[in-house]
Structure 1
Amino acid sequence: MLELRRYQYSLQDVEEPNLYRDNFNYDEVPKVTFNYRQVPMNVPEEIWITDTTFRDGQQSRAPYTVDQIVKLYEMMHRLGGPNGKIRQCEFFLYSETDRKAIDACRDLGFEFPEITGWIRATKEDFKLVKEMGLKECGILVSCSDYHIFNKLQKTRRQAIEGYLEIVEAALEMGITPRCHFEDVTRADFYGCVVPFATELKHLMDKYQIPVKIRFCDTMGYGVPYPGATLPRSVGGIIYGVNHFAQFPSELLEWHGHNDFYKAVVNASTAWLYGCSAVNTSLLGIGERTGNTPLEAMVMEYASLRGTLDGMDPTVITEIAEFYEKELNYKLPPRTPFVGRDFNVTRAGIHADGVAKDEEIYNIFNTGKILNRPLSVEVNKNSGLAGVAYWLNQSLRLPDGKKINKNDPEAAILKEWVDKQYEGGRMTFISEEEMESAVKKLLPDFAKYMR
């Protein structure tokens, strides 16, 4: 098809900020509006994951130690696999701990994740990038009028000219700038975002060095719905900069927050509409409601591509255990893929089905894929099937020793369970309590305990 490629969107240096009050009335829940303009899906030939655990992730928890950062970085490397599907890992540069951690991670000699930095758009901060010798660095370039007018107290032209000056300084030193379009889902798309991106494209062409754009859905306002209006349409944002500013997919990245429970679906939508990279953090830890969870996007990648491309998802379980045991971080038990209860069944009728075929009540082979076999939790509703399944699974009884719900051993243990609830108990029975009961009531099975 013959396609028009010459688009000219000039910066609209307005006197009053455009705060999109039709969408964002501060005293009401933000509205999602539609104009029914749909843009085509355009999945890039290659997609990947990047990480901000040690930057955005550290803004909402106690700082990691150098040793903790190195351990997590090493696990990210193994999770990403030999093809580097976790492509980059972003660090603060401000504290001595941050800089020591960068050096220690570099000493591991991994190609992936590549270590990158993050700075504010100031020349003073840029000195840190030079000192650390990084090849790429993120630069905060707030692009909504909420930030430009109300936080920076500047006009659009003043803000954009300042950003371009810092970006050009990076290019002059041979450093790839990654421009973080902060609050893009409240920014004037055609009056500010596209003209700014076009100027960045001109600088990239001039210096023949890549310039990257990270779309930051800072408040989680992005929506994945076809036909939604800008600036909230994720597909519209990606398509618009890719199409009107001629930015190639491999230089576009999505960074989302979960304020409206849309972090994962928005990140997947960004992939589908032409963004090669999605930015994540381990377990979704980040500002307010958090970032897009890295482990979720590993699963999204496998779902969309039909392959893990060398990623090792069993490391996800290692990471979750490290957070709980070494960092004393309490994961909500029902968190998908990593929570204690994500693949635990409690209802007796479910346990009966699982005993016949675990595929009936398990999302996939969690034992193989995540090294987290399906389990049952014993409570007053477990029934004989639940108790029998617990014995077989928790004790890992060998073939020939496995029992079913009609065996006397199940009845003996079920009778003990029922007695625990006769006095009004409401809580589940712990593994330790169950194992103690087995030692007392079924001593022949005690030898199978780990």
Structure 2
Amino acid sequence: MTGKKVHIIDTTLRDGEQAAGVVFSLEEKMQIAALLDKAGVPELEIGMPAISQEEKENIKTLVHAGFSFNCLAWCRAVCSDVDEAAATGAQGVHISFPVSSIHLNALGKNELWVMKKLSEVLTYASGRFSYVTVGAQDASRAGFPFLSDFIGQAVLCGASRIRIADTVGIMNPFSVSKLFTKLKKECPHVPFEFHGHNDLGMATANTFTALCSGAEAASVTVNGLGERSGNAVLEELVMALSLSGNIQPDIHTEYLSELSALVQQASGRVLSDMKPITGKFAISHESGIHTQCMLTDRTTYQIIDAASVGRKEEPFVFGKHSGRTAINRFFSSRGYQLTDKESLTMLCEVKQEAIKLKRSLSESELLNLYKKR
């Protein structure tokens, strides 16, 4: 996959904010957008103008703020939404259409209605935007013959890109690979985007797979923020592409930790300490076997270079699983040279204290243990 180009679309300000109970102020949106711009994300889906006049004004402010990324407004399949989007000055518009029988039945619509609306709304939008993308909502549960017809008609009507949405997160990497292999065989020249939800915990893996199976673009959110269990995670996808897929997205990854912290604060959604890439413990180590090797070569047990994601390397954690090598190195760095007997005694005391407290010890607690002896 070396040399493959992937296009990242961030939808934190649209689909991310659709997470239950999340509301971003305009100031927060501007801060998030500014950091995404610094990170080099080329396209942002910045909101739904039809929500309210305030939302439309916020989108207009973002559009005219001088950022380098392309701004995309999200619309339902109605011409009035396209008008609202055009009024913001957004460079592009995304129009979403239901394509599964489940969604169509719930809306009281059918496939004929979709095809008629597709021609009507895309023709209308093409007169107002040079860049129109089309979303196949709930594509993962749509019948393939209709999905294929939908894609063909969308392209004929001027769609610049087709979003294949796994709206309820039902897919897995195998089904994603199968679908995109089939899509690219039938529609080899159509630019596809994958939009994954995380209901079964596979959104980021599915997005990675889609990009390795023919999709040219992916829409993601910072921290995976989004409805229900969220979306594919920007920072995890970018690092996975780089380190596991040998694909280098044009993203300045040194901003990822700052972005993650900002969105965590603005959304009020607290991240797990074990979250990959930006979680507190993502680059922390306690095990004696691990730390002994890592003193020689940190990559022995850590593939994430802290600086590459805007972090500092974490000092080793001292607790129940620590080893003498790490203990000796810590005290040596503080000017204390322990004898073999002292280091063994300290190691035993550290383990006992960690078991008693049911946690690791801070560096100050470790020093206090030594000084109390």
Structure 1 segment 326-345 matched on structure 2, within 5 A: 328-345=268-285
Aligned to 1:211: 160
Contact 2:2 2:246 in 1 (8 A): no
CA displacement, residues 307-328 of structure 1 (integer Å, 9 cap, x when unaligned): 6465321211112332455654
Confirm or deny: 8 A CA contact 2:321 2:351 kept in the other structure: no
Shift of 1:147: 0.8
CA–CA separation in structure 2 for the residues paired with 1:410 and 1:306: 43
Residue in structure 1 matched with residue 213 of structure 2 by the alignment: 273
Change (3 A) 1:43 1:145: farther
- Range 176-185 or range 371-380, more displaced: 371-380
Looking at structure 2, the residues matched to 49 and 283 of structure 1 have their Cα atoms a distance apart, in angstroms, of: 15
2-side partners of 1:148 and 1:269: how far apart?
28
Structure 1 range deviating more: 362-371 or 290-299:
362-371
1:110 aligns with 2:67: yes
Task: Kindly indicate whether the alpha-carbon contact (under 8 Å) linking 1:52 and 1:89 is maintained by their aligned counterparts in 2.
Answer: yes
Cα contact 1:194–1:240 (8 A) shared by 2: no
Q: Secondary structure at the match of 1:141?
A: strand
Write out per-residue CA displacement over residues 273-320 of structure 1, whole angstroms, 9 at most, x where no aligned residue. 221101100011112221110011211332367464653212111123
Match of 1:195 in 2: 149
Alignment of 1:97-176 (within 5 A): 97-112=54-69, 114-149=70-105, 151-176=106-131
Partner of 2:228, secondary structure, is coil
Asked whether the 8 Å contact 1:222–1:266 carries over to 2, the reply is yes
Question: Is the CA contact (8 Å cut-off) linking 1:65 and 1:97 kept in structure 2?
Answer: no
1:417 has 2:366 as partner: no
Letter in 1 for 2:76: R
Kept in 1: contact 2:238–2:249 (CA 8 A): no
Return the alpha-carbon distance in structure 2 between the equivalents of residues 136 and 327 of structure 1: 26
Equivalent residue, structure 1, for 2:36: 76
Distance (Å, rounded) in 2 between the aligned partners of 1:404 and 1:152: 74
Note closer, same or farther for the CA distance 1:70–1:221 as it changes in structure 2 (3 Å cut).
Answer: same
2:173 counterpart residue number: 224
Query: 1:389 and 1:86 mapped to 2: Cα distance?
Result: 45
1:128 Cα deviation after fit: 1.0
Gaps of at least 5 residues in structure 2 are none
SS at match of 1:372: coil
Aligned AA for 2:31?
K
* Pairing 1:177–2:117 present: no
Match of 1:294 among 234, 257, 263: 234
Percent identity, please.
21
* 1:328-385, Cα deviation, whole Å (9 max, x unpaired): 4321111110111111122233222222332222124334554231432222332433
In structure 1, the residue corresponding to 2:81 is in which secondary structure?
helix
**Are the counterparts in 2 of residues 348 and 383 from structure 1 also a CA contact under 8 Å?**
yes
Deviates more, 1:56-65 or 1:257-266: 257-266
Task: Quote how far apart the aligned CAs of 1:163 are.
Answer: 2.9
| 1: CA distance, partners of 2:65 / 2:118 | 34
1:129 partner amino acid: A
Structure 1 CA distance for aligned equivalents of residues 352 and 110 of structure 2: 72
Q: Kindly indicate whether the alpha-carbon contact (under 8 Å) linking 1:119 and 1:138 is maintained by their aligned counterparts in 2.
A: yes
Amino acid across the alignment from 1:144 = S
Conservation of the 8 A alpha-carbon contact between 1:388 and 1:405: yes
Change (3 A) 1:404 1:350: farther
* C-alpha distance in 2 between matches for 1:353 and 1:43: 31
Please report how far the alpha carbon of residue 156 of structure 1 lies from its aligned counterpart in structure 2 after TM superposition: 1.2
CA separation in 2, counterparts of 1:419 and 1:186?
54
2:358 equivalent in structure 1: 426
Kindly tell me: are residues 62 and 391 of structure 1, through their superposed partners in 2, closer, same or farther at Cα, counting changes over 3 Å?
Answer: farther
Amino acid at match of 2:6: I
Per the TM alignment, residue 161 of structure 1 is displaced from its structure 2 partner at its CA by 1.1
Contact 1:183 1:217 in 2 (8 A): yes
Q: Distance in 1 between matches of 2:316 and 2:274?
A: 14
CA distance in 2, matches of 1:332, 1:97: 33
Please state how far the C-alpha of 1:220 moved relative to its aligned partner. Answer: 1.5
Runs of at least 5 residues in structure 1 that lack an aligned partner in the other structure: 1-41, 205-209, 226-232, 444-450
2:3 and 2:184 mapped to 1: Cα distance?
11
Alignment RMSD, CA only?
Answer: 3.1
- With normalisation by structure 1, the TM-score equals 0.73
Are the equivalent residues in 2 in contact too, given 1:214–1:254 (CA < 8 A)?
yes
Q: Secondary structure at the match of 2:117?
A: helix
Aligned to 1:320: 260
Q: Which has the higher helix share?
A: 2
1:229 corresponds in structure 2 to none
Summarize the alignment of residues 84-95 of structure 1 with structure 2, pairs less than 5 Å apart.
86-93=42-49, 94-95=51-52
SS of 2:295's equivalent in the other structure is helix
Q: 1:79 to 1:407 in 2, by over 3 A?
A: farther
Q: How many residues align?
A: 370
My pick for the range that moved more, 64-73 or 298-307, is 298-307
Structure showing greater radius of gyration is 1
**Contact map agreement 1:413 1:441 (CA 8 A) in 2:** yes
Residue 248 of structure 1 corresponds to 190
